[in-house]
Amino acid sequence: MRVLIIGAGAAGTVAAMAVQKAGHEPVVYEAYEHSAGLEHGIYLGVAVNGLDALRAVDAQHVVMSAGFPSGRMTFYSGTGRKLGEMPMGPELSDGSVTYTVRRSDLYGGLHQEALDRGVRIEHGRQLVGAECREDGSVVARFADGSTAEGDVLVGADGVHSATRTVIAPANPGPRYTGLGDAGGFARDVALDSEPGSYVMIWGKNCFFGYTVSPDGEIWWFANPPSRAQPSRAELRALSAAQLRTRLIDLLAPDRSPGAAIVAASRRDRGGQRRLRAGQPVRPAVRAHLVPGPHGDHR
Ligand SMILES: Cc1cc2nc3c(=O)[nH]c(=O)nc-3n(C[C@H](O)[C@H](O)[C@H](O)COP(=O)(O)OP(=O)(O)OC[C@H]3O[C@@H](n4cnc5c(N)ncnc54)[C@H](O)[C@@H]3O)c2cc1C
């Protein structure tokens, strides 16, 4: 069976490995040219159900070799009061817990793993339409005018999935949550927290969280509120300095290290942004989608 998988993100590459393992022929179609997009983003938590899914295709090493275990999270109020502590999900039977990993390591690692296994990934192929034939086969149409034929079409093309729109045009699409999304890496802030343990702070103006990697780097995220959904152009126009200033203002009233951590985040040597802004959206409908890894923190 030939399986057309739309999107070469985490979901698409893992779906391809699963399809291949089941004895079928996957082909992945990715909108971006070459490996564009693999270096974007900050980090995410791959919860144990995500690790379990990777284990099902013998790919858990991608996360476990690049990330670090994150077993617990502790919640505080903006006044510094400890609200509670809990595990980051249950342990797997072998004792594995949630892992935290840079998004680029996760995406690059899964992409390479799929290629190493002989999965075909075609770049520059943006799905714009698809039709079912009477014999049950499917024809996918791409923006460059090309087509592909297969037996099954799998949508793994993210929260704004074109596949979902093609399959279910009436679906309500993703919904803006009213929160922004920013994150980064910092060093040289004195913190009293164990590596791998998350600290989450329900601040007066802004939710903030961080964890410390085994080598002492602080990995943080913040969810600044924004009633109106910023446009992509507005987000692109926001400089790292402007974002830093806004977050520091929001976090300053709290008895937490949030403002100091954001202030300590700088551009790295390669000029790559260590601060990133985005806007979390939640799909209102999950049907027809291959879900991505759960437990995203940013
Ligand atoms: C640039 C970016 C940065 C992110 N950074 C973070 C982060 O730092 N931390 C975090 O927790 N989460 C982040 N996320 C969200 C997180 O990565 C995803 O929610 C999660 O990994 C879901 O994975 P996915 O494979 O389902 O979808 P995605 O990661 O969105 O992958 C979907 C893939 O499909 C491709 N695609 C989209 N439309 C089409 C089309 N029509 N035809 C063909 N291909 C298409 C996209 O180019 C992409 O490669 C980020 C997402 C993006 C897009």
Where do the domains of the chain lie?
2-174, 178-279
d(CA 201, CA 253): 12
Q: Are the C-beta atoms of residues 281 and 175 closer than 8 Å to each other?
A: yes
> Whose CA is closest to 97, among 74, 65, 75, 68?
68
User: Which CATH topology does 2-174 take?
Assistant: FAD/NAD(P)-binding domain (3.50.50)
Ligand 1 touching residue 209 (CB < 6 A): no
User: Given this model, what pLDDT does residue 173 score?
Assistant: 85
Residue minimizing CA distance to atom 6 of ligand 1: 41
ipTM score? 0.89
User: Given this model, what pLDDT does residue 270 score?
Assistant: 33
Residue minimizing CA distance to atom 18 of ligand 1: 292
Measure 154 CA to ligand 1 centroid, in angstroms: 15
User: Given this model, what pLDDT does residue 65 score?
Assistant: 96
User: Given this model, what pLDDT does residue 279 score?
Assistant: 52
Ligand 1 touching residue 295 (CB < 6 A): no
Measure 38 CA to ligand 1 centroid, in angstroms: 9
HSE on the CB side for 284, CA within 13 Å?
Answer: 10
Mean pLDDT, to the nearest integer, of 87-108? 92
SS3 233: helix
d(CA 254, CA 265): 18
Residue from 99, 103, 181 to probe ligand 1 pocket by mutation (most atoms less than 8 Å from CB): 103
Ligand 1 touching residue 296 (CB < 6 A): yes
User: Given this model, what pLDDT does residue 277 score?
Assistant: 52
User: Which CATH topology does 178-279 take?
Assistant: D-Amino Acid Oxidase; Chain A, domain 2 (3.30.9)
Q: Has residue 95 got a pLDDT over 50?
A: yes
The total of other beta-carbon atoms located within 10 Å of residue 237's CB is 10
Q: Which residues contact 257 (CB under 8 A, 6 or more apart)?
A: 189, 191, 210
